[in-house]
Amino acid sequence: MTPKEVIEFAKKNGAKAMDIRFMDFPGIWQHFTVPMSELDESSFEDGYGFDGSSIRGWQPIDASDMLVIPDPGTAAMDPFYKEPTLVLIGNIADPITRAPYTRDPRNIAKKAENYLKTTGIGDTAFIGPEAEFFIFDDVRYDSQKNVSFYEVDSVEGTWNTAREESPNLGYKPRLKEGYFPVPPTDKFQDLRTEMLLTLQQIGIDVECQHHEVATAGQAEIDMRFKPLLQMGDQLVWFKYILKNVAYRHGHTVTFMPKPIFGDNGSGMHTHISIWKENQPLFAGDKYAGVSQDALYAIGGILKHCRALCAFTNPTTNSYKRLVPGFEAPVNLAYSSRNRSASIRIPMYSSSPKAKRIEFRTPDPSCNGYIAFSAILMAVLDGIQNKMDPGDPLDKNIYDLPPEELAEIPSAPGSLEESLTALKEDHEFLLKGDVFTKDVIETWVSYKTKNEVNPVKLRPHPHEFFLYYDI
């Protein structure tokens, strides 16, 4: 839409206010609301001022003034607000120079798309994330000097088979048996369909929804692949809509990768392909029907995976899911069909347009704009430097003898390890000024100070179980 068309769209939908939204550095949507009288065509150039020092990972107090400039191409009506409200996603700019802000995640995604075009390799990177999540009925947690605990609950939780529910009607998925039972075992069919329809209501194409493997309401809703920046926008809408649909029905959604011990965690398998002039570049006559460039792209992801994890698996909880020896994509290998490899080449269709690579390590706690951009930069580095991914691994990694498994490199075992890898391996991210040294350094510093160290310094509740009587 043009600015004029946005204003006409708002009038047509009876908008009484405009909500402008942007992503903070770690990956949470922020917003403020203005009356429609404060939006005109000049607003799409002038922008709106706000305090950048109050946004996580952004400006110091002595340089706090920032601008957010609405992007007219992102206009949509909010599905939840009581009063009709237009939503616009904004780009962050310096109020003096008007230059795009380097720590704005959306700006990183825009630069990644632009860099792809300058390489001559392709003109569009398509991204298709499969974000898993949990639907809980109750969540409580606390972390103080003298107490630390969490508790989640779900009517579907296999631990509730003996709970007094007046009456307890059973049908609760056992551990690792949540894929795909029909109701009444699946208690959230209607809720997920409402999520699906709400996503469609604002223009997001959805392929399917279903229950996932874990007990206690694990689910997945798949969006149809889109260009990188557009998918970054859609992923924040996706999280927002799923949380709010659940909330208005008395449930809560979390994209935390590992909220339940002993059952599957939530991943975000991410499909990527590159196209040029409407032609797919990853289809060919090599292994599993892919092109040589696709194999080089795989080589790039495998080479840089440990550094990528700092963005694609950016929480300490991410590494409760990525544990060697369990059914998690920690082994840096590739295969067709084989879900025990970190990179899979899906074989559902023989169409060249369907050829893509699936990076299975990421999880949905990530900031999509930054994670997708980092994956693309690794793919391009692999193609540019003709990185050989080695031989595919077409057998169950978890059945390999220890001596053979030891030869397969692994993803990092902790957020701290991934941040160390990022410090040592980030030159590929700096190409085209997509990421800057300031972004890398700020990311490492923020994550270390606010997440790694606070978790490292606190006693874990299970340590009392193990050691209190020592």
Is 220 known to be catalytic?
Answer: yes
Q: Is 112 left (phi over 0), alpha (psi -120 to 50) or beta?
A: alpha
293 DSSP 8-state letter: H
Is 451 known to be catalytic?
Answer: no
Q: How many residues does the chain have?
A: 470
- The residue written with tokens 């659940």 in the block is 246
Is 212 known to be catalytic?
Answer: yes
Q: Which of 137, 194, 358, 363 is catalytic?
A: 358
Q: DSSP 3-state assignment of 198?
A: helix
Q: Which of 103, 106, 269, 344 is catalytic?
A: 269
Is 358 known to be catalytic?
Answer: yes
Q: Which of 233, 360, 426, 451 is catalytic?
A: 360
CA dihedral for 112, 306, 256, 340, sign (positive or negative): positive
Burial annotation 93-113 (CB, 10 A radius, 16+ → b, else e): bbeeeeebbbbbbbbbbbbbb
**How many Cβ atoms sit within 10 Å of the Cβ of residue 248?**
10
Is 51 known to be catalytic?
Answer: yes
Q: Which of 339, 433, 438, 460 is catalytic?
A: 339
Q: Which of 45, 51, 190, 441 is catalytic?
A: 51
Say how far residue 340 (Cα) sits from the centre of its chain.
20
Give the contacts of 96 (CB within 8 A, at least 6 positions apart): none
Q: Dihedrals φ, ψ of 68, to 5°?
A: -120, 125
CA dist 58 and 442 (Å) reads 9
Q: Which of 104, 137, 212, 263 is catalytic?
A: 212
Is 132 known to be catalytic?
Answer: yes
Q: Dihedrals φ, ψ of 360, to 5°?
A: -95, -5
Q: Which of 104, 130, 137, 263 is catalytic?
A: 130
Q: Which of 78, 104, 220, 263 is catalytic?
A: 220
Could you list the active site residues? 51, 130, 132, 212, 220, 269, 339, 358, 360
